[in-house]
Amino acid sequence: MGLRRWALAAAVGAAAVAALAAGIAPRSARAQADAALRVPDAFASITDRARRSAALFLEAGKVFQHPRCQNCHSGDDQPHQSEGRPHRPPVRGGADGVGVPGLRCAACHGEANYDAAGMPGVANWHLAPVSMSLRAPLAVICAQLKDPDKNGSRTLDDIAQHVATDALVIWAWTPGPGRRPAPGTHAGFVALMRAWADTGAECPRAP
């Protein structure tokens, strides 16, 4: 009887470990992939300037297509949260991107993360314009970034300055407990964007 119980316990334990591994392994692999962001020098071997520029943007695109950025660059009037789910409770960006009258973003989102309640926050929390959706292929995102009619009349220098200094952009690497930060580091992302601009701001081909 003792041997039978031991065998049953061992089988249950093995099944639990297998189930745990099945649930955790994809997240672990994803977290490791998220953490990686190559530096501009990693693309120095690409001698064709246009190809190197497009490759730099593809690497920076790991940030653009991450939930920390896509949630606020949703492409419509509704922000998302967590891993891309619609915001709960349902809210709207409104005419100025900071909420509708009576339900402004600042009513919940302060100037810093409030970890006790799991509430993210940073100064000037707001929804990005619809024209700057990051829920799109990277070729489309790249074209939007360079289009003054969609990027807020920004030059390439303005864009580099924006990603370097905007508080909401920087927040993506310190989003608080329970949220995956954007890939790499903020400094690494800025370096990629500057290198992309310096090499002609070429866009990757559409799939």
Instruction: Give pLDDT tens digits for 181-190.
Output: 999 999 999 9
CA–chain centroid gap for 100, Å, is: 25
pLDDT tops 50 at residue 203: yes
Phi/psi region, residue 152 (left: phi>0; alpha: psi -120 to 50; beta: rest), is: left
For residue 58, what are the CA distances in angstroms to 46, 55, 186?
14, 5, 16
pTM of the model: 0.81
Looking at the predicted structure, is the pLDDT value of residue 13 above 60? no
The rounded Cα 29 to chain-centroid distance in angstroms is: 17
Question: Is residue 34's pLDDT more than 50?
Answer: yes
pLDDT at 176 over 90: yes
Q: Facing residues of 81 across strands?
A: 85
pLDDT for 108 beyond 80? yes
